[in-house]
Structure 1
Amino acid sequence: MKITAIRAYQVDLPLKEGRYSWSNGNFVEVFDSTVVAVETDAGLTGYGECCPLGSAYLPAYAFGVRSGLAEIAPKVIGHDPRDLANLNRFMDAELRGHPYIKSAIDVACWDILGQATGLPVYTLLGGKAQEDVALYRAISQIEPKAMAANVAGYRDEGYTKFQLKVGADADSDIERIHLSAAEMRPGDVLVADANTGWTMHEAARVVNAVRDVDVYIEQPCPTYEECLVTRRRTSLPFVLDEVITGVDSLIQGLADGAMDVINLKISKVGGLTKARQIRDLCISSGIPMTIEDTWGGDIVTATIAHLAQSTPEEFSFSATDFNSYGTVDIAEGAPKRIDGRMRAADAPGLGITPILSALGDPVFDTYRA
């Protein structure tokens, strides 16, 4: 089987709540997502999706996805999409860095592999380790009292894990954490995610002020070294996200005892092939994961569900249902939240069928000459 064509589509994903805000005043109102279709000479087509969280979150941005695909896509024509390890090595040799650009191609090839074998992707990733996966709800950064008030509404939707978007000034963030913690019920989980927004002295103030609160501290500072300093200043459970970019940074974190949990974002590390490597190393090392991505619609949500469902429950800290945040459906068969949980489709591959009318015309096609 050979790849014969790659198509890319641009899709706008508006938010139901109008705006998503996080640290340092950053926000997005309409997400710019790229859907990739990988076609083969066997008549099978796989789909992947990449949606950066704006341009001020990670070294990734929406136009970069499509310009990078225009660079790498012609070079993978003729490769076997089922030969995922070699395909990833080839893409890394042809385009140094920029893992997010390669992610949608990699995911689409997993979709093809599932269709070719008649198996859902979760089976290919190790098997169904849980029947469904628990979800967290990100609480967009607004005034402290309003954020705390949102907890009850999200709990009514079935969520029991709540991720506060902090990373503003220390005083307001301390208030956010205390007020939201007061809304927690037995069994609820509260995470204060600064998204790299604090300096070390702000992080020191916050962790000291909330030392008696049952809360996880996530990615307080921009660099690994700054986060490690904060980690050593607190006994609160600690999550690393933005600075865990691959196996190398994970190994460093494990050696330093730098975290209790990581956020594993599929496109950040380059797709399912590399995410599975990191997932398996975390399991071997006793580190639970929030399995998610930077953002996305139905195809990203389906991809998350397959990786999460193939992860043992004790190592699946939570996952994300991004398609419930938006107003646009781009694929049928994608997971839907039920009582704060979701499950992947049992159909071959990702189990989704893109809604072509929602995708519109491709922004480019790449065919074998």
Structure 2
Amino acid sequence: MKIKQIDIYAIHLPLVEPFVISYDSYDTMPSIIIKMTTDTGIVGYGESVPDDHVTGESWESTYAVLKHQLAPAMIGENPLEFEKIHDRMNRIIRDVPAAKAAIDIACFDIAGKALQVPVYQLIGGRFHQKFPITHVLSIGSPEKMANEAAERVAMGYRSFKMKVGTEVMKDVARIQAVRERVGADIAIRVDVNQGWVNAATTLRGVRALESLDIDWLEQPVKADDIDGMVEVKSKTWIPLMIDEGLHGVKEMREIIAKRAADKVNIKLMKCGGIYPAMKLANMAEMAGIECQVGSMVESSVGSAAGFHVAFSKKIMTSVELTGPLKFSKDIGDLHYDVPFIELNEQPGLGVNVDESILEELCKFKDVVKG
């Protein structure tokens, strides 16, 4: 079986409401979808959601890399040879993990369909039966965030990821407001997205948060400040999670060596897809570090890929792949049984893509053929 054609779609996914984090605000989510077709007629879908601040890639650059470099190099390759696919991509261009993730995910979708098994059966088999869904609260006023949290609790949600990362004490006020509104039994995870910059500022916030029973504090310092994470971790009992500071094997080695975090947030867009994500999970498992599969606000395609990784590993203790719940229109049909997610047993990713919606949301498109 060989890759015969790759269609590349640059799309904007419409959000129900703006998604606000420490470094940006989104009214729509830019995404690149690829449709990979083999000479046997099997079709697989992949997705790339780049982020200038996280993966170092823009929407436009990712499209160009796929069109001119990665997609042409994949024509004639066997999509089931994951190691060779990644080696070929890595020899062509350094980094660009979100671009590579699109190719990786499409290959796994094809492999599952060819072998008539879900992707999770290709990477260890299913371990978890279901995961609770964590609702993400965008940055807003304390009252707005507390009101939204209360509404979601009424819908059945039992955990929240709070986006903060502005002025530290204003962020503390937001967290306090949500905790007071939802009570002591609801899990709150705090994601700073590097917004507190350094250890000194973070420790100021940490002291105010230690009485609020926070599940964990995620990436409070700049991504490359691993030593800052070490300092914060040594001075608080609140568990620390690394997100933007972990891309691939190089960072994972340093995190393990310095014991810089209690948890790591593995994202397919940061590491290059399903295959490298499993390598990171195995490294973390050997070091006794819990893992989460996180979200870059992907469509059903990218979100399903992340769920397959999460469902296949015991060391995965949480997921935050809620992109499809944020869109007013999605290209796929990933099903959420709020407040839980349970994967189906369909071959491949288990997602049916509506090509009419894909065309509707498409801003521009190219086809790469053999």
Q: Could you say whether these structures have the same fold, taking a TM-score greater than 0.5 normalized by the shorter chain as the test?
A: yes
Q: Contact between 1:268 and 1:293, CA under 8 Å: does it hold in 2?
A: no
Report which stretch shifted further, 101-110 or 140-149.
140-149
Find the counterpart in structure 1 of residue 204 from structure 2. 205
Report what 2:3 is aligned to: 3
From 262, 277, 280, give the equivalent of 2:279: 277
Match of 2:303 among 294, 301, 305: 301
Pairing 1:170-319 to 2, within 5 Å after superposition: 170-185=168-183, 187-200=185-198, 201-215=200-214, 216-222=216-222, 223-312=225-314, 315-319=316-320
Would you say 1:345 and 2:344 are equivalent positions?
Answer: yes
1:56, CA displacement in angstroms? 3.7
Q: CA deviation at 1:57?
A: 4.3
Alignment correspondent of 2:152: 154
Contact 1:158–1:338 (Cα < 8 Å) also in 2: no
Q: 1:58 to 1:267 in 2, by over 3 A?
A: closer
Structure 2 residue identity aligned to 1:340: P
The structure 1 residue matched to 2:58, chosen from 57, 61, 65, is 61
Q: How far apart, CA to CA, are the structure 2 residues paired with 1:161 and 1:274?
A: 28
Larger deviation, residues 197-206 vs 224-233? 224-233
Alignment of 1:351-362 (within 5 A): 351-360=350-359
What is the CA–CA distance in structure 2 between the aligned matches of 1:196 and 1:224, rounded to whole Å? 12
Q: Percent identity?
A: 27
Confirm or deny: 8 A CA contact 2:3 2:79 kept in the other structure: yes
Query: 1:309 touches 1:343 (CA, 8 Å); kept in 2?
Result: no
Aligned position for 1:27: 25
CA deviation string 1:91-132 (max 9, x = no partner): 101111111111110000000110111110011111110111
Residue 45 of structure 1 corresponds to 43
TM-score by length of 2: 0.93
Deviation for aligned residue 1:15: 1.1
Deviations 1:12-63 (A, max 9, x none): 111112x111114x2111111111111111111110111235x344412211
Q: Is the 8 A contact 1:140 1:164 kept in 2?
A: yes
Could you tell me whether the CA contact under 8 Å between 2:153 and 2:182 is conserved in 1?
no
Indicate if the aligned counterparts of 2:50 and 2:56 stay in contact, CA closer than 8 A: no
Q: Residue by residue, what CA displacement relative to the aligned partner does 1:51-97 show, whole Å, maximum 9, x if unpaired?
A: 235x3444122112201101211111111000001110111011111
| Partner Cα separation in structure 2 for residue 204 and residue 292 of structure 1 | 25
Cα distance in 2 between the residues matched to 1:345 and 1:330? 18
Secondary structure of the 2:235 match is coil
CA distance in 2, matches of 1:64, 1:154: 37
Of 298-307 and 77-86, more deviation after overlay is shown by 298-307
Residue 288 of structure 1: how far off its partner (Å): 2.0
- List per-residue Cα deviations over 1:299-347 (Å, max 9, x = no partner): 11211221121122x6322332210011112023x2x221311122211
Q: Cα deviations across residues 260-281 of structure 1 (Å, max 9, x unaligned)?
A: 1111111110000001111222
The residue identity in structure 2 corresponding to 1:278 is L
Distance 2:366 2:291 in 1: 35
Matched AA of 2:231? V
Is the 2:31–2:59 Cα contact (8 Å) retained in structure 1?
A: yes
Q: State the one-letter code of the partner of 1:162.
A: F
Secondary structure at the residue paired with 1:93? Answer: helix
Unpaired runs of 5+ residues, structure 1, are none
Look up the equivalent residue of 2:169 and give its one-letter code: D
SS of 1:316's partner is strand
Q: How does 1:311-330 map to 2 (within 5 A)?
A: 311-312=313-314, 315-330=316-331
Higher mean displacement: 156-165 or 68-77:
156-165
The answer on whether the counterparts of 2:55 and 2:97 sit within 8 Å (CA) in structure 1 is no
TM-score w.r.t. the length of structure 1 is 0.94
Task: After superposition, give the CA deviation of every residue in 1:271-300 in whole Å (9 maximum; x if it has no partner).
Answer: 000011112222333222221231211111
Query: Any conservation in 2 of the 1:12–1:33 contact (CA below 8 Å)?
Result: yes
Q: Partners of 1:187 and 1:52 in 2: how far apart?
A: 35
Alpha-carbon offset, residue 186 of structure 1: 5.2
State whether residues 89 and 100 of structure 2, in contact with CA within 8 Å, keep that contact through their aligned partners in structure 1: yes
Please report how far the alpha carbon of residue 202 of structure 1 lies from its aligned counterpart in structure 2 after TM superposition. 1.9
SS in 2 for 1:263: strand
Q: Which amino acid aligns with 1:85?
A: E
Other-structure match for 1:169: 167
Q: Whole-Å Cα distance in 1 between the matches of residues 92 and 55 of structure 2?
A: 22
1:52–1:295 CA distance, 2 compared to 1 (3 A): farther
> Tell me, what secondary structure is at the counterpart of 1:331?
coil
Structure 1 contact 133–305 (Cα < 8 Å) conserved = no
Alpha-carbon distance, 1:185 to partner? 4.2
